[in-house]
Amino acid sequence: GRRWLDEVARSVKELRAAGTLKDSALRNGLEAAALLRFGLTGRPKESQEKLVKVVRTRTFYTFEKYHVLRHEPVGFAMVIVALGQLVNPRIQSRETPAGMRKVLEILTARYDLDPIRVAELALDAVSHAPDLNGSEEWVVGLLGFIKPSRICCVLGNMLIRYHDKKRSTASGLIPVVARLITA
């Protein structure tokens, strides 16, 4: 086994000298002992520490990427469930705009959701809730976590969406827009 490894080391050194094999390709794919044998590093401990750091960093970013992608639909589902409580009269009587806004803020931050999309869902819920029908207290209370300059984008997107689908605008959306314009 050792003789074979020596032959591989010699071949790698020849390929490196000829310029056909890049050092970066070797560093990414080989262990510290092999790097030392191929002459890519002087001290085994130093190369091992660098390799561990690179692997941990790559693993962390890969995990975070798929973690966010996996949890975003779950976050929106939880937002929809929370907003669905506004339609239920028994739960609606116990819920306050500030409490619902806090829930939306927490879900938006926890699942890294788009706040504008969350605001659109909240406005849809308020405009379709039978007892609220665009109540100013609820509209202003729910949209407190959105920057005021972005609220017009949210309302514009909602109105365009109804227009593009050739549907009539939700009856509760008109009072919502009117109250936000006057607020």
DSSP string, 39-74: TS-S-HHHHHHHHHHHHHHHHHHHHHHHHHHHHHHH
pLDDT bucket at 8, cuts 50 / 70 / 90:
confident
How many domains does one find in the chain? Answer: 2
Measure the CA–CA gap between 79 and 46, rounded to whole angstroms. Answer: 48
Measure the CA–CA gap between 9 and 11, rounded to whole angstroms. Answer: 5
Residue 17 lies in domain = 2-60
Judgement on whether residues 79 and 54 belong to the same structural domain of the protein: no
Answer with the residue of higher pLDDT: 112 or 162: 112
pLDDT at 107: 87
Judgement on whether residues 40 and 78 belong to the same structural domain of the protein: no
Query: By C-alpha distance, which of 166, 143, 168 is closest to 153?
Result: 143
Selection from 48-62, 94-108, 124-138, 151-165 with the highest mean pLDDT: 94-108
Judgement on whether residues 119 and 142 belong to the same structural domain of the protein: yes
Judgement on whether residues 56 and 75 belong to the same structural domain of the protein: no
Q: Render pLDDT for 132-162 as a digit per residue (tens, 0 to 9).
A: 655 667 777 777 777 777 777 777 777 787 7
Judgement on whether residues 24 and 84 belong to the same structural domain of the protein: no
Judgement on whether residues 105 and 165 belong to the same structural domain of the protein: yes
Judgement on whether residues 71 and 56 belong to the same structural domain of the protein: no
Q: 119, 166 in Cβ contact below 8 A?
A: no
How far is CA 108 from each of CA 76, 118, 142, 144, 170, rounded to the nearest angstrom? 9, 7, 13, 13, 25
Judgement on whether residues 56 and 114 belong to the same structural domain of the protein: no
End-to-end CA gap in the chain: 80
Judgement on whether residues 77 and 145 belong to the same structural domain of the protein: yes
Domain boundary among 22, 39, 60: 60
Per-residue pLDDT averaged across 59-67, rounded? 60
- 3-state DSSP call for residue 171? coil
Domain boundary among 37, 60, 83: 60
pLDDT bucket at 101, cuts 50 / 70 / 90:
confident
pLDDT exceeds cutoff 70 at 46: no
Domain boundary among 60, 81, 99: 60
